Amino acid sequence: MSDTSAVEERPKHLKHYFVDSDQQFEASKMGMWVFLVTEILFFGGLFAAYIVYRAWYPDLYLQASTELDTFWGTVNTAVLIGSSLTVAMAIRSAQLNQIKGLITNLWITIGLACVFMMIKYFEYAHKFHKGILPGEYYTYEGIAHEKANIFFSIYYMMTGLHGIHVIIGIGLMLFLVIKAKKGAFSSGYYTPVEITGLYWHLVDVIWIFLFPLLYLID
């Protein structure tokens, strides 16, 4: 009809099909939550496998988890919780228009995520060296249970899928750092920071359950 909307001042990030920035922000966030629902059920299948086999072979879990190092598991839990804190601080910085603080907090988060993956790498390497491999490749003889390979198949699937999520998270946060350096974010627009934060917190929540279920059985 008229071209009044064309002259109206609209921020650059605002898509034409949204009324305002708030509506766009809320829609993005809800979309992210729907994705997180699918993520919970994605991991849920693995948790179901864990529970079914634990009900079938309670002794197996007691014996096999002694191969997992509680100390490094605890350190990794603390590292991930610390990274959740820095992501929350990054979002706070973005909300307050402190782009320098945003970038710093993102770098600390990336650093902590890398520490997590390094520890995971050393844990995996140590197990591979001993012949603790998933499924039919399992050759370790230190656990007196014929189904020991099953526990480690579940262990590698759960921690492996979680590890892939951490690596994806590192990629996302590097992307955010690049965007932030280009000046893409401000207190008026930080949607990618917010929804990456949601993703990262979910990865943390998954680990909060994996840690006692895998490492702390005795």
Partner 1 sequence: MSGHHISSSKFLWGIGSALFFLTFITVAVTWFHIPGPWNVVVAISIASLKAMIVAAFFMNLWWDSKFNSMLFVTAIIFFLLLIGITLLDTLFRNDPVPTF
Contact 76, 206 (CB under 8 A): no
In angstroms, rounded to a whole number, what is the distance separating the alpha carbons of residues 145 and 132? 13
Contact 45, 212 (CB under 8 A): no
CB closer to partner 1 out of 105 and 163: 105
Instruction: Kindly state the smallest distance separating residue 113's Cβ from partner 1, in Å.
Output: 16
For 189, phi then psi, to 5°, come to -150, 105
CB closer to partner 1 out of 107 and 209: 209
Instruction: Kindly state the smallest distance separating residue 103's Cβ from partner 1, in Å.
Output: 16
Contact 132, 152 (CB under 8 A): yes
For tokens 């991991």, what's the residue? 43
CB closer to partner 1 out of 170 and 199: 199
Instruction: Kindly state the smallest distance separating residue 106's Cβ from partner 1, in Å.
Output: 15
CB closer to partner 1 out of 7 and 80: 80
Q: Which residues contribute to the site for partner 1 (CB under 8 A)?
A: 22, 25-26, 29-30, 33-34, 36-37, 40-41, 44-45, 47-48, 51-52, 55-58, 70, 74, 77-78, 81-82, 84-85, 87-89, 92, 95-96, 150, 194, 197-198, 201-202, 204-205, 208-209, 211-213, 216-218
In angstroms, rounded to a whole number, what is the distance separating the alpha carbons of residues 121 and 218? 24
CB closer to partner 1 out of 67 and 194: 194
Q: Tell me the helix, strand and coil percentages in the chain, rounded to 5.
A: 80, 0, 20
The enclosing H or E element of 154 equals helix 148-181
Instruction: Kindly state the smallest distance separating residue 11's Cβ from partner 1, in Å.
Output: 15
CB closer to partner 1 out of 14 and 198: 198
In angstroms, rounded to a whole number, what is the distance separating the alpha carbons of residues 125 and 131? 10
Instruction: Kindly state the smallest distance separating residue 216's Cβ from partner 1, in Å.
Output: 5
Instruction: Kindly state the smallest distance separating residue 62's Cβ from partner 1, in Å.
Output: 9
In angstroms, rounded to a whole number, what is the distance separating the alpha carbons of residues 158 and 69? 16
